[in-house]
Amino acid sequence: MYGRIAEIDANAVTVHPYEKEPVKIQRVDLLQVSQGDALLFTAISSWTNIAATHVYPHEAFVLKLYSGKLITGSPLAVKSDSITLKHGSVITEYQKSDVQTVDYLRLKPASDGFDYTLREAPEFLFLYPEFYYRLAGLEGRIPVRLYDASAPGPSAVARCPSQ
């Protein structure tokens, strides 16, 4: 279902599809929420999700190892049995068997008002306070759990059929 998220709480998401009535989807029925090709939420724990995630500048993966150590870095390569991250100037390969969870630390989506101003009147962005937060890199990050070794998951990425 494509549309604007009209309302969200801990139990449900209300989506307003284009030119249709809003639809309320219960969390237990929700499989995945994305903005373009960037995930906001997924109920699927899959190593394949990690390889399919496009990481933009200022975004990263956070790996939690079974040892309890947290590693934040940019993915360079994801294989079926390992992930290679660059954190700082160090490049390290981590085995899938050592990884407990993987979170995608993505940029917080822009507000509707900011998107509208960007599309319709970009020359007035300097009047919009969110412009300065984004320019300074202070827009915030959202963690999205892509993989949890303790949760069963399929071996493929969820895809919506083309409309």
Please name the helix (run of DSSP H) or strand (run of DSSP E) that holds residue 49, with its range, or none.
helix 47-52
Confirm whether 66 is domain-assigned: yes
Angle among Cα 118, 140, 2 to the nearest 5 degrees reads 55
103 part of a folded domain: yes
What are the tens digits of pLDDT across the range 32-86?
A: 887 766 677 888 888 988 888 888 888 899 999 999 999 999 999 999 999 999 9
Within a 10 A sphere around the Cβ of 101, how many other Cβ atoms? 19
Q: Is 160 a domain residue? A: no
pLDDT in tens, 82-122: 999 998 899 999 999 999 999 999 888 877 788 888 888 88
Q: How many domains does the chain have?
A: 1
Angle, CA of 15, 17 and 20, to the nearest 5°: 120
What is the domain extent for residue 47? Answer: 31-148
| CATH code of the domain covering residue 115 | 2.30.30.100
Residue 15 lies in a domain: no
Rg (CA), the chain: 18
Domain-embedded: residue 128: yes
Indicate the pTM of the whole model: 0.73
Where is pLDDT greater, at 134 or 48? 48
- Can you spell out the DSSP letters for 85-154? EEETTEEEEEEGGGEEEEEEEEEPPPPHHHHHHHHH-GGGGGGSHHHHHHHTT-S-EEEEEEEETTS---
Position 154 in a domain = no
Residue 20 lies in a domain: no
Domain annotation covers residue 159: no
